[in-house]
Amino acid sequence: MKTEQIKRIKLFGIFIILLVATQSCVVSSLNPLYTNTDRIHLDELDGVWEGDEKDRYIIKTIVDSSDLKIKAKLDTRSSFGSDEIDHANIKKKIKEIEKKLDAKVKIPNVNKYYQITMITEKDTSVFDGRLSNLGGHYFMDLIPNDKHVEDKISGSFIAGMLVRTHGFFKIDLRNDELVVNTIEQDDFEDLIENKRVRIEYVERDNGVIITAKTEEIQKFLVKFADSKMFNDPDEALILKRIK
């Protein structure tokens, strides 16, 4: 089997564990790895990325504008009431509002996140991603998209038995190349056996689920961010921007 195929299978296995938490030998977490203070957003991640096996990853910025309100008698619903935001149109509307009110309009902070669509030969999966800067390293927290999961298993008995867990991925953006690494179960077990880390976790079937709080997860990731497990070129998924 080709090396790139193995990488793809491993990453796909990671995505599956986020949904059922039992199907692959990777590490996930019950709690998110981010907090509001360390979350960041890089618009340059948006685009279409492709692996060597032609699998595609479409990354799109989504803005949660549910709490965004402007007290002005202008119809801004087309700009502010949708998940997909036209930023150029927003700026235009803001200028119109400021001109009408003869004052600066203060816009509350908006909550950006990524919608990541993974397209393979056999399936299409959708995930929500949130990026954090931990100790100068970028880590992506990934969970299955609610609507996508509902569409996939609507009416199924399994729906009430799923455990949604968080996957975490160290990412490096190098111009038009995106390098993705994560920690696998054998690496994690090696750390535990050699007493190099102490963190709460449980083993479920053939997977490991970290149960520690977000703060402890962050300490763990920062401690090993420069280690081989998060920087192995032979294990990394390398994506090229095509759009």
Query: pLDDT for 182-198, tens place per residue?
Result: 888 889 999 999 999 99
Query: pLDDT for 56-89, tens place per residue?
Result: 999 999 987 654 444 434 343 444 444 445 556 7
* pLDDT for residue 175: 87
* pLDDT for residue 81: 40
* pLDDT for residue 120: 87
* pLDDT for residue 66: 55
Sheet of 201-204, strand order: 27-29, 207-210, 201-204
Quick one: 32 exposed, middle or buried, by C-beta within 10 A (0-12, 13-18, 19+)? middle
Which residue stretches of the chain have pLDDT < 70?
Answer: 1-26, 65-88, 90-91, 104-110, 154-163
